[in-house]
Amino acid sequence: MRPVARLSELNDIDLVVDSIKARLAEIAEGLKEPAALRSARTALAGVEAEVAALRVRQQDCELRQKTADEKLAHNEKRLYGGQVHIPKELQDLQAEVGQSRRQRSQAEDELLETMVAAEAAEEKRAAAQKTLDALVAEWATRQVELRTGQAKLKKRLETELARQAAARARAPSQLLLMYDTLRVRKNGRAVATLLDNEVCSECKVAVSPTKAFALRDGDELVYCENCGRLLFGE
Ligand SMILES: [Zn+2]
């Protein structure tokens, strides 16, 4: 086998290894938790805090309502029980009853308002939870797919790396540095094929007849005049 044929063989395997590694890098990137899932979690936490705050406010209103109720009952009992006779005391008591009624009514209004708000927040929480659950499920499925693909590719990579090492060992060692440098410069493809005995397979530009002849008949290295790749005539 000609030296360039060895390099061509190595180049094919190198490109396969490159693409497997690129795909594995994509999978690793894909295995990071999606931004949508993170923001759904944040959204849910926000609504949960809102619900909790409204529940606390609701309890506070209930307590204020209860306190006003008790005070009202106590004062009404005194007011209508006939035990208080002094006009000033009666007047104060009446004022207190009036205040307790206002406080109770205020607490009731606020309680109602809070309950309505809490209910709306609860609905929002349920919707946020539903969104999050759907995203979590979707993400779980996606992860399984990705991990299955990843496992397969890792196995394949092992095989290809072994083939790559063997092909590299077979390739003429004095040409490897040139090959590696060219491969880096030419986006992974260092060796091009001469198609129909005249055209470079990579840049599609015709090669001079002298070069085509040299490729057919000699062992010397021939490069494409246009793209600079090493040419291999099959
Ligand atoms: Zn070319």
The band of 220, judged by pLDDT with boundaries at 50, 70 and 90, is: confident
Say if residues 203 and 192 touch (Cβ distance below 8 Å): yes
Is the four-CA dihedral 140, 142, 148, 151 of positive or negative sign? negative
Residue 13 half-sphere exposure toward CB, CA atoms < 13 A: 22
Is the four-CA dihedral 109, 115, 117, 118 of positive or negative sign? positive
208 Cα: distance to centroid of ligand 1 (angstroms): 12
Phi-psi bin for 90: left (phi > 0), alpha (psi -120 to 50), beta? alpha
Q: Which CATH class is domain 33-170?
A: mainly alpha
pLDDT in tens, 40-55: 999 999 999 999 999 9
14 Cα: distance to centroid of ligand 1 (angstroms): 19
pLDDT given at position 1: 75
210 Cα: distance to centroid of ligand 1 (angstroms): 15
224 Cα: distance to centroid of ligand 1 (angstroms): 5
Q: How many CB atoms lie within 10 A of CB 211?
A: 19
The band of 37, judged by pLDDT with boundaries at 50, 70 and 90, is: very high
Say if residues 17 and 160 touch (Cβ distance below 8 Å): yes
162 Cα: distance to centroid of ligand 1 (angstroms): 29
Q: Residues whose CB is under 5 A from ligand 1 (ion)?
A: 200, 202-203, 224, 226-227
Q: Which helix (H) or strand (E) holds 232?
A: strand 230-232
pLDDT in tens, 112-157: 999 999 999 999 999 999 999 999 999 999 999 999 999 999 999 9
Could you state, in order of their start, the residue ranges of all structural domains in the chain?
33-170, 176-232
Q: Which stretches of the chain are DSSP H helices?
A: 3-30, 35-81, 87-170, 176-185, 209-217
200 Cα: distance to centroid of ligand 1 (angstroms): 5
